[in-house]
Structure 1
Amino acid sequence: MTVRTVLGDVEELGVTYAHEHLFMTGGWPVRNEPDYRLDSLEAAVAEVTAARRHGLGAVVEMTPLGFGRGPRLMRALSERTGLHVVAVTGFHKSTYYSDAHWLHHYDADEIAGLLVSEIEEGMDELGLVGPIVRRSPARAGAIKLAAGYHRLPHGRLISAVAQAARRTGAPVVTHCDKGTMGHELLDALDVDRVVLGHIDHNPDPGYLVSLAERGAYLAFDRPGRIKYGPDSDVVALVEALAEKGLGHRLLFGMDLARRSYWPSLGGGPGLTYLLDRFVPRLEAAGLGEVARAALTGNAAAAFAIRRG
């Protein structure tokens, strides 16, 4: 399987976090909340280096267009640490973009063309804010689409993302607000691979099983962020999926999109938590094999570029 990283296509990722943020240098989050400013290469190197000691091999960097994702920074981080970084093109919720932004005005075909170019030619260094495109050698490897709380994104965006996924063979990775809109996104997109992000924020085993049975990948990112609920909730969800034979649809990440989550910047729990603290807990519950698959084989299948 071939996965597209910021340094080129690779055949193996190793242990992979399916939802992470390493750089956010501008746009809505940074303007409204300084805690979202992740613009230090040195801090990112420190975080990644610590996690690499625990076996981390790759991350899917989920910072989308308009949030200052930093292709040069991602490449520099990958070169310095050996971490594989899969970047995304695409969007967060449309309400996070000004009324003048092109995503509110371009048609689906035009938007799809821009997304395809980021995957096949290279990401724009400035996130397609235009009018000049400064094409990076770093190419995106997945396409992001965000749903609101019980609200689908605009139909033009859904159509554009689905079209770009079919043209490039890249997976669609989603933001599911509070774990909602899973089935609705699967229905609307109608593509072969969808990764449902934040889906464990709706800790309903029956709901998650029903999504996995449809072939969705479920990206769990709550471990260590106790404000959303205890880790025991996530352990129970993993067990419920495993009991139904659906562990092969499971992915893990941490979504540490704030400075206050990074030990190098005075916070926590840090990127090491998932491998150092949460996976051993799964192993103690007899779920070690499920955890290893979620972090390796499942991730490799979910994020591969599939042609034809």
Structure 2
Amino acid sequence: MTVRTVLGDVEELGVTYAHEHLFMTGGWPVREEPDYRLDSLDAAVAEVSAARRLGLSAVVEMTPLGFGRSPSLMRELAERTGLHVVAVTGFHKSRYYADDHWLHHYPAHEITELLVSEIELGMDEYGLAGPLVRRSPARAGAIKIATGYHAFGRGIRRLVGAVAAAALATGVPVVSHCDKGTMGHELLDALAAEGVPADRVVLGHIDHNPDAGYLISLAERGAYLAFDRPGRIKYGTDAEIVALVAELAGHGQGDRLLFGMDLARRSYWPHLGGGPGLTYLLERFVPRLEAAGLGEAAAAALTRNPGAAFALRDLTADGADGDARAGRPVPRA
């Protein structure tokens, strides 16, 4: 198993949060809501260090292009704390990008080339805002795509093709924002049509749709389900999530579960005056699972499952459609 982190490829992740935001330094979220500004390295070090003392080993940092992603800050955080940081390239919902943004205009194959370059050569320090590229030594380890509420959203079907081609070319997984937990099957169908199997897809925010039957049907296809709202009670109780974990484990789908917290606001960080903080998952939520007899499912969701979900994988060796990889773009420095 090999996973790509901002400090290089590693063979083991350990205890992993599969959906977090450590830095958002500009772009749409910060313009719209100052609470989204996460630009303090010292605060991030303090938050991560507290969780590290409880056993946290790795985080998938889900901040995409256009949201103030900072490869240099991610690298410095990893160096100071020993945390494995898996970064993403790719996009949030297309409506968050101005009408003149290149994602609305570039041909799909050129978007694929940009994504592949971020994975194989290094991420741009300025999020491909252009016109110049300042290539970081930090490489992305996953590709993000986002769907809207019960809809793909403007231009997303075209981006699915570009994202799929980049995933097939590089072997990284596709990670998603599924608005309110919707569009899971539709996104899996669209990616499968481009050659990406469901077991190379992580469906984010999927527990915002707490329908056990729906979640089981996604897991049965092989998709990984990122439960990323424990502790954020305004979206639903932890008891609800515990019940969903029990349902999935009871149906033999415990190997499809991932956990995270998605703490994308200053008001979620104790070291910035808020809560519940990164420690909550290990300190409070996991013990509830263990008390409910779900300790084995919790351990798998934090260790074994993310190791498999975020590992690089050559899909041609798995019998994937070779035509899906035809015309692999050549990265440019």
Question: Where on the TM-score scale, by shorter chain, does this alignment land: which range?
Answer: over 0.9
RMSD after superposition: 0.5
Given residue 272 of structure 1, which amino acid in structure 2 is its aligned partner? T
**Residues 129-278 of structure 1: matches in 2 within 5 Å?**
129-153=129-153, 154-190=156-192, 191-192=196-197, 193-278=200-285
Alignment of 1:57 onto 2:57:
yes
C-alpha separation between the residues in 2 aligned to 1:69 and 1:139?
A: 13
**Cα displacement string for residues 46-66 of structure 1 (whole angstroms, at most 9, x for unaligned residues):** 000000000000000000000
Given residue 209 of structure 1, which amino acid in structure 2 is its aligned partner? I
Residue of structure 1 in register with 2:326 after alignment: none
Alignment of 1:284 onto 2:291:
yes
C-alpha separation between the residues in 1 aligned to 2:158 and 2:140?
A: 21
Q: Which runs of 5+ in 1 are unaligned?
A: none
C-alpha separation between the residues in 2 aligned to 1:205 and 1:47?
A: 32
SS in 2 for 1:56: coil
TM-score relative to the length of structure 1: 0.99
Residue of structure 1 in register with 2:40 after alignment: 40
**Cα displacement string for residues 189-220 of structure 1 (whole angstroms, at most 9, x for unaligned residues):** 11131000000000000000000000000000
**Residues 46-125 of structure 1: matches in 2 within 5 Å?**
46-125=46-125
Given residue 186 of structure 1, which amino acid in structure 2 is its aligned partner? L
The alignment covers a number of residue pairs equal to 308
Given residue 211 of structure 2, which amino acid in structure 1 is its aligned partner? D
C-alpha separation between the residues in 1 aligned to 2:29 and 2:58?
A: 24
Structure 1 position 3, deviation (Å): 0.2
Identity fraction in percent: 81
TM-score relative to the length of structure 2: 0.92
Given residue 297 of structure 2, which amino acid in structure 1 is its aligned partner? V
C-alpha separation between the residues in 2 aligned to 1:107 and 1:247?
A: 39
Given residue 70 of structure 1, which amino acid in structure 2 is its aligned partner? S
**Cα displacement string for residues 58-111 of structure 1 (whole angstroms, at most 9, x for unaligned residues):** 000000000011000000000000000000000000000000100000111010
C-alpha separation between the residues in 1 aligned to 2:201 and 2:151?
A: 17
